[in-house]
Each structure stands twice: as structure tokens, then as C-alpha cells.
Structure 1
Amino acid sequence: MPKAIWNDEVIAESDDTVVLEGNVYFPRASLREDVLVESATHTVCPWKGKASYYTLQFDGHTTPDAVWYYPSPKPDAAAVRDRVAFWKDVKVEA
């Protein structure tokens, strides 16, 4: 089962993932709430839309903007609606 690991902690795990542009998108519901802090960061993808971010914070560790998601993806990117992806210090294992 695919899982996202940050600081030796599993922060998301699901058999229902979507791979898009080499990134594994997990269902938002599979992501642990206790490690998330809203971020003010936003970026724009020309075909997916506006991305929002979460910072990971837990047990004295912080990784800014390590989780991204598309709150209102464009129609061509509908597969990532209600999903999150990871980068920076997060390792995704299949």
C-alpha cells in the first residue's frame, strides 16, 4: 500500500492513489490532521490550476510547504480533486 513518510512517521497511506506527472496524489482523507499547518503559499499550474500548501509540523520538526493540493482543479486535472501530494522531506513508498 502506498504511504508517505516524514521523519519516520507515516503521515498518509492509501491504496487509492493517482499518479500525475510523476507525483503520487493521496486522498485528502488519508492524510493525518495532527501534522498539518495551513500555509499562505500558493502557486499556479497552467493546466491544473491554483495550488495551495500545508506545512508539516510535529514533535519539534517543521517542513514548510511540503504538501500541496488543488482546491478547485481545472477540468483536465479533475483526478486530483480532494487529493494531496508531497515533496521536500517526505518520502513516498509504493
Structure 2
Amino acid sequence: MVTATWNGAVIARSDDTVVVEGNHYFPRSAVDPAYLRDSPHISLCPWKGTAHYFSLLVDGAENRNAAWYYPEPKSAAEDIRDRVAFWRGVQVG
């Protein structure tokens, strides 16, 4: 079982992650939506497409743009559709 934790909270937990470039992508259904806040931030990857972001809010602390996902990935990255990955201090393991 792989978990993603930040600020003492379990943000995601699943035994079905997809690892791409060293990042675990969790099924969207395995991520607790109570901690997610939509972010206007986006970034572009030449082979995965346009990444959209969430900020995390746990016990009043915010971790801006700490989670990302590809709502419409390019065909080479179809395996990460509807999946969320983490960074910026989120512990995944």
C-alpha cells in the first residue's frame, strides 16, 4: 500500500499507483477530496500534456500546487488519466 501524507494527514492511499518519472500517480478515487483545493496553476509537459494542480489544505496549513493531474493526457501518458501525483513536501511511500 502506498500512501501520500502531509502535515500529519493521509491525503491518498492505494495499492494501485502508476509510477512515471519516479512519481506515484494515485487513482483519483484514492485521494481524499477534503484536503484538495483547485489551483489556477498549470504546466506543460511535451509528452504528457497540460498538468493542472491542486493545493492542499490541512489543519489551516496550505501547500500550494502540491498535487497535479492530467485531465486530458496525450496518448503516450494515457495510463495517468484520472490519477493524481504529489510533491512539495508530501511524503509518498
User: Under a length normalisation based on structure 2, what TM-score does the superposition of the two structures give?
Assistant: 0.98
Distance across 2 between alignment mates of 1:2 and 1:20: 15
Matched, 1:41 2:48: no
Cα deviation, 1:29-51, whole Å, max 9, x if unaligned, reads 11011111100000000000000
Alignment of 1:48-63 (within 5 A): 48-63=48-63
**Structure 1 residue 58: Cα displacement:** 2.0
Distance across 1 between alignment mates of 2:72 and 2:61: 30
Q: Number of residue pairs matched?
A: 93
User: Under a length normalisation based on structure 1, what TM-score does the superposition of the two structures give?
Assistant: 0.97
Distance across 2 between alignment mates of 1:57 and 1:5: 12
Distance across 1 between alignment mates of 2:53 and 2:60: 20
- Aligned partner of residue 89 in structure 2, secondary structure: coil
Superposition misfits of 4+ residues, deviation over 6 angstroms = none
Match of 1:16 in 2: 16
Percent identity between the aligned chains?
A: 53
In the alignment, structure 2 segments of 5+ residues that lack a partner are none
Match of 2:90 in 1: 90
Cα deviation, 1:1-27, whole Å, max 9, x if unaligned, reads 000011121110000100001101000
Match of 2:4 in 1: 4
2:66, 2:86 within 8 Å by CA — same for their partners in 1? yes
Distance across 2 between alignment mates of 1:61 and 1:89: 13
2:43, 2:51 within 8 Å by CA — same for their partners in 1? yes
Give the root-mean-square deviation of aligned CA atoms.
0.6
